[in-house]
Structure 1
Amino acid sequence: MESLLLFFAVLFLCCIFLSKISDKFGVPSLFIFLGIGMLAGSDGVLGVHFSDHEVAQNIGMIALIFILYASGLDTDFSAIKPVFGRGIILATLGVVLTALAIIPIAMILLDFSFLEAFLLGAIISSTDAAAVFAILKAKKISLKNNLSPLIELESGSNDPMAIFLTLTIIQMFSLGGSGSVYDWAQTLFMQFGVGILFGYVFGVGLPGIFNRLRLEISGLYPVFSIAWVLLLYTTCYKIGGNGYLAVYIAGIFINKKEFVHKKNLIGFHDGIAWAMQIVIFLILGLLVFPSELPQVALSAFVIGVWLMLVARPVGVFISLLFSKFSVNEKLFVSWVGLRGVVPIVLATYVYGADIAHANLIFNIIFVMVLLSIFIQGMSIGFAADKFRVKEALIDEPAQPVSSPLFKTTLHQATLFFGSKLIGKTIVQLDLPPEFLILLIQREKEYIKPTGSFVFAQNDILLIQCDDDTLYKEVVKKIIG
């Protein structure tokens, strides 16, 4: 056990230190994580033998839950709202069209049956938000015309559709290709309907629970959140919904509300998501046998180029047909469809089904993901320049010395017996951003309040609010 812990500790540290390459040169971190896993695997330097696809699949399932949950928590609903409809169409119809566009090239090049070719397309159809935005951030690229929220929404929400397609096609293999369009539609409605409903209910519910729970030990809030997301996923799955969609939707609605320890909780889940990405890419790197990849390299390269230049643009252009995005913007969205952890995890599912070309599909998917991360990931900056989608940076004029940076309209309020505010926390008040409680005096102690601060009788509040009318309305509403 000690040797195993040492092995993973060293690999984790190597991944983290080498991720600096991503920050400096724009090489995607996921590419580095995969490379380290491959070097440690059976054909690599360390020669660690690992070939248990079921274990990899189970680890991948758990990893995807927390990756999608963190992705939802990082999503600003107000930012994605203007492109919500287009993003959802791109994340659903776009995935289906991309998968369908892979079928002819896979049937011709690999001599696959229609179902096998469709399965390959379904597995590779989703994109990876983390890879895209890590590169955009590293290169300090800001996109115009709501492109960033569109890509963010699509990348975060298209995984459930790819998972649904993949598992449905695998089920058709086990049923000998039977199944009607009606059955597909019914399953799709059930999965997505239940997934959205559960995600909304659990997402709206958690902030309210946190604001009323008032745990003495702050470290228990992340533990509660972990249990909450696992409860959501498993309950939704048991009923027949799409658990992955549910956890992503829940994350978005949790982020909409203010609640105690929100900032710390989001940071915690960001760390968990990165840990999960490192774990799953190391596991998948160990799982693959690099000596087998040259046999499929040419086929994977051709299909990968077809995906980048034909299949993905077909899905994007048709999905955004009636949108206001320009041709250049649609071309950029097409190009930033990086593939990441989800396709490789889904590729492990083929081993548990009665599919003759399971190993071939896994290796082709693996090479296609590597190509996508490397070719598209390294060229995002060039594509942003080529398609002229960068947001122009405007230098703000310096503030004149005579213009004050801060206004000083301060007010004082005392919480007397019977005040409605006594016993409540700041996050329960849903205060407007212009109304700031700066300081609390409680007896002889001065307290800088946080979201979890609980008001008590005789507290004296120092409040900044420049609008006297707003100040009076808020004080009347919350203090009484």
Structure 2
Amino acid sequence: MDLSHSAQELVLVGVLICIFVYSLLTKAISKTILTLPIIFMVIGYLCAVPLEMAAEPETLDEGARLLAEITLVLVLFTDASHVRFMSLRKYVGVPARMLVVGLPLTIGLGMVVAYLLSPESGLAMALLTAAVLTPTDAALGQTVVSSKDVPEHLRQTINVESGLNDGLVLPFVLLGAILASATMEGAHTDGLAMSAMMQILLGPLVGLAIGWCAAKAMDVAQDKDLIAEAAGGVAFLAVAFVAFIGSEIIGGNGFIAAFVAGMVFGNTYRHEIHFIGEFMEGVGQLLTMFAFLIFGALLLPDGLEHMTWGAVVLALLFLTVVRMLPIFVSLMGTGLALREKLFLGWFGPRGIASILFTLIMMDEFDFPGEEELLACVSMTVFLSIILHGISAAPLSKWIGQASRSGR
């Protein structure tokens, strides 16, 4: 037991040293094709065997689930709170089309593709696979979002889409998991439909109430100069988790509640909301590091173990046709140039949301074909980390040059 505990401490020290070294070299790394997700996925993969030897599988699963829940709650709340509709009126048309038209089309086309590649898994698993692989992650294309070469309307569009699509896809993920679980032999389906309905209805209601009340309370405290500036980040943290836990207590979905609470909070709070960005700059980056470490250490090895050519084909299709065709269709009539439509279609990287949805759904539900789902998600995220990571800088320069020259 002591030897195992020492091994765990050694692995943790090694990871912390890697985080420290990465932090020292962030500027230098930003000038290369390497990205945070690539680096920490590789570190996680190298830690897979030592972790397996140092800890029980149950302990690793529980730790991964806890970290996944904390990360997803903060990501959903933060992303939604940043999207202030009044200030985004100039750019809201294009991302609105991508979310209202492109997202459902992506799920529908993805469901068809997943079913055709694996009909024996059933339509419910095809829906779950498509829903888990639909949300995008701006962290994998951070160079695109922060690059001055990329026109502002494209950067804003990617920010808004990636900020909202993970929350909007949640009901589809939940529905797919519940339906797939119901197909298991011996599954108890009594009250399943009612339970799902309650989760999807109560979650937004709890989020709406808590987000609005918290914003109004903080406005009053701000007006009366009662709140210290540094306390804003703590208050935001509390609101996110009150929405999550409060919804779970009464039978709603906590993740939907956190997402709605963030959106309501961000659009109700009358003062500057910079404290959320400042808080997540440090904590959010650390959680992102650990999310990709978990992916490299736990999901990727298991996914590779169950890898098939079908999973590889599905991953490539989801990163190209399944993503780009619906986005192209949704952007018809917007006046965007062909290069801009293709650029927005390509930069739909899969990352944190897909990883966390998979971890949580596999822990919460039993459904057929879990190994195939894990393989598909692992390969899609792996290829996305590599392909979107290394293409971000050159394509950002290309779109900037093309836009300036009017080609």
Q: 1:205 to 1:392 in 2, by over 3 A?
A: farther
Aligned to 2:155: 148
Aligned to 1:331: 342
Q: 1:81 to 1:389 in 2, by over 3 A?
A: farther
Cα deviation, residue 115, structure 1: 1.6
Q: 1:139 to 1:358 in 2, by over 3 A?
A: same
Q: TM-score, normalised by structure 2?
A: 0.79
1:355 aligns with 2:355: no
Distance across 2 between alignment mates of 1:73 and 1:37: 30
Aligned to 2:315: 304
Aligned length: 385
- Give the AA of the match of 1:266: G
Determine if contact 2:215/2:265 at 8 Å carries over to the other structure.
no
Cα deviation, residue 164, structure 1: 1.7
Gaps of 5+ in 2: none
Cα deviation, residue 56, structure 1: 1.8
Cα deviation, residue 273, structure 1: 1.3
Aligned to 2:167: 160
- Give the AA of the match of 1:258: H
Runs of 4+ in structure 1 over 6 Å off: 182-189
Does 55-64 or 318-327 show the bigger shift?
318-327
Q: TM-score, normalised by structure 1?
A: 0.69
Cα deviation, residue 264, structure 1: 4.9
Distance across 1 between alignment mates of 2:386 and 2:214: 35
Percent identity reads 20
Determine if contact 1:129/1:151 at 8 Å carries over to the other structure.
yes
Distance across 2 between alignment mates of 1:93 and 1:55: 37
Aligned to 1:258: 271
Distance across 2 between alignment mates of 1:216 and 1:126: 36
Q: Where do residues 33-112 of structure 1 align in structure 2 (5 Å cutoff)?
A: 33-42=40-49, 48-49=54-55, 51=57, 52-72=60-80, 74-75=82-83, 77=85, 79-110=87-118, 111-112=120-121
Distance across 2 between alignment mates of 1:43 and 1:108: 38
Aligned to 2:380: 368
Determine if contact 1:203/1:250 at 8 Å carries over to the other structure.
no
Let me know the Cα RMSD of the aligned residues. Answer: 3.6
Distance across 1 between alignment mates of 2:258 and 2:15: 27
Q: Quick check: which one's strand share is greater? A: 1
Gaps of 5+ in 1: 394-480
Determine if contact 1:31/1:373 at 8 Å carries over to the other structure.
yes
Q: Quick check: which one's helix share is greater? A: 2
1:170 aligns with 2:170: no
Distance across 2 between alignment mates of 1:390 and 1:49: 52
Q: 1:15 to 1:50 in 2, by over 3 A?
A: farther
Q: 1:39 to 1:337 in 2, by over 3 A?
A: same
Does 311-320 or 200-209 show the bigger shift?
200-209
Q: 1:229 to 1:188 in 2, by over 3 A?
A: closer
Cα deviation, residue 336, structure 1: 0.4
Distance across 2 between alignment mates of 1:247 and 1:126: 19
Q: What does the per-residue CA deviation read over 1:15-65, in whole Å, with 9 as the maximum and x for residues that have no partner?
A: 534655641114331222222111111278x95556343442232121112
Q: Where do residues 162-201 of structure 1 align in structure 2 (5 Å cutoff)?
A: 162-176=169-183, 190=201, 194=205, 197-198=208-209, 201=212
- Given candidates 354, 361, 367, the residue that maps to 1:343 is 354
Q: Where do residues 69-468 of structure 1 align in structure 2 (5 Å cutoff)?
A: 69-72=77-80, 74-75=82-83, 77=85, 79-110=87-118, 111-132=120-141, 134-136=142-144, 140-144=148-152, 146-176=153-183, 190=201, 194=205, 197-198=208-209, 201-202=212-213, 204-205=215-216, 207-212=218-223, 214-215=225-226, 219-238=230-249, 240=252, 242-250=256-264, 252-253=266-267, 257-258=270-271, 263-264=274-275, 266-288=277-299, 290=301, 293=304, 295-296=306-307, 298-348=309-359, 349-384=361-396, 392=404
Determine if contact 1:67/1:276 at 8 Å carries over to the other structure.
no
